[in-house]
Amino acid sequence: MEDVITATLWFAALSVGIMAGVYFAFSAFVMQSLDATGRATGMVAMQAINRIIVRSLFLPLFFASSLACLLLVVFGVMQWGTPGAGPMVVGGALYVIGMLVVTAAANVPLNNALETTDAAGPDAEAVWRRYMQRWLPWNHVRTVSCTVSLALLIGAIAAR
């Protein structure tokens, strides 16, 4: 069982780190760059990103990292009191809630609403502004959640 936990911890730390980088890029410069290109161009580009990302390696990593973190919560609870169990539970839970749940409850519905909007239509400007005002703060939550989760998972590895 120890080897499974160790392998899961390492996979989770690596995959959570990759996800933190993806979300950081969107928070730090991608969304601002899309917005700077103008509403129609930015909207069309984000619609393309949202279509392509679900057919890329991002989606398997998204789900595999979430499963790994969920398993770490279970493993940590089962081994509560052992070195690294606390950061494993908190790091895994933070990732599942701050990344998976936030994505499903906030970012995906916003992406779906954006997808149904014609970038040349009369309501496109209002939709794009609302999208930027709502999507970006939730992405910041994902970025911070992933980064803190990564630090906790590294702490769990070190403690074990």
pLDDT digits (tens, 9 = 90+) for 36-53: 998 899 999 999 999 999
pLDDT at 39 (0 to 100): 86
pLDDT at 94 (0 to 100): 98
pLDDT at 27 (0 to 100): 97
pLDDT at 105 (0 to 100): 98
CA dist 31 and 24 (Å) reads 10
Mean pLDDT, the chain, integer: 97
pLDDT digits (tens, 9 = 90+) for 54-79: 999 999 999 999 999 999 999 999 99
pLDDT digits (tens, 9 = 90+) for 80-138: 999 999 999 999 999 999 999 999 999 999 999 999 999 999 999 999 999 999 999 99
Question: Is the pLDDT confidence value at 35 over 90?
Answer: yes
Band the pLDDT of 8: cuts 50, 70, 90: very high
